Amino acid sequence: MTKSHLANANPFEGPRHAFEVVGREVFHEAWRAEYIEDPKGAEHREVLLILRNALRSGDVSAHWHTLDFKHSGDLRPQDADQEFFRFILRDDLIFHHGMNEPVRCSIHIEQLRRWVRGKEIQPTSPTQLAKNQCLDWLVEIFSAPQRAIPPFEALKHDAKNRFPRLSDHAFKEARKRAIEITGRYDLAKAGRRKNPIGK
């Protein structure tokens, strides 16, 4: 019954969900849901470009229909390549150049996920890549139960030696995110940490 239920599940989702899928695939643990609401952010722009390239590739199925359902069709690679094609994420729409209006769009999520994974896409910004690598490293350190965690400055120094492109700001963000992921909120407090044995 589970298999037939999965077979009948709709594999298509709107642009907002597709954006989220691409973001998680590319940025992994560094991805934040709020990036979708920040059109000027580097992560937002990068994910939009990757999503558009996926639709241009011809390897990811997508369909569209007008808001009044009078017109519909497959979203072709050349549609996604049009100058005025764009995602309108706040309304979960795309602007269809041929129709000259916003339309609903459904994108095949598994095909999209496979396309992104097959391309082994990494963030284009070397600083973002360094931040992602630092985050993975910090999560590994913070997850080890008996490991002594160095003080903030020592940890930052070690991180910047390992990841030369890492900025101070990126380290702070990666550390904050690693604390959230691992639940090590004891590391977030300023000052010296108390010995957990004394608690």
The pLDDT value given to residue 8: 53
Q: What pTM value is reported for the model?
A: 0.64
Task: Give the ranges where 58-151 is alpha helix by DSSP (H).
Answer: 77-80, 109-119, 126-143
- CA distances 33 to 12, 21, 28, 30, 134, Å, are 20, 10, 12, 10, 20
Range of the domain at 149: 126-193
The pLDDT value given to residue 156: 94
Any domain includes 32: yes
The pLDDT value given to residue 124: 63
- CA distances 151 to 135, 143, 155, 176, 194, Å, are 16, 16, 6, 14, 12
The pLDDT value given to residue 164: 85
Are 20 and 112 found together in one domain?
yes
The pLDDT value given to residue 123: 63
The rounded average pLDDT for each run of 10 residues, N- to C-terminus, in the chain (199 residues) is 55 97 88 90 90 95 96 95 93 94 97 90 71 88 88 93 87 90 83 45
Are 111 and 13 found together in one domain?
yes
Structure tokens at 186: 């004891």
Place of tokens 């997850």: 143
Structural domain total, the chain: 2
The pLDDT value given to residue 41: 85
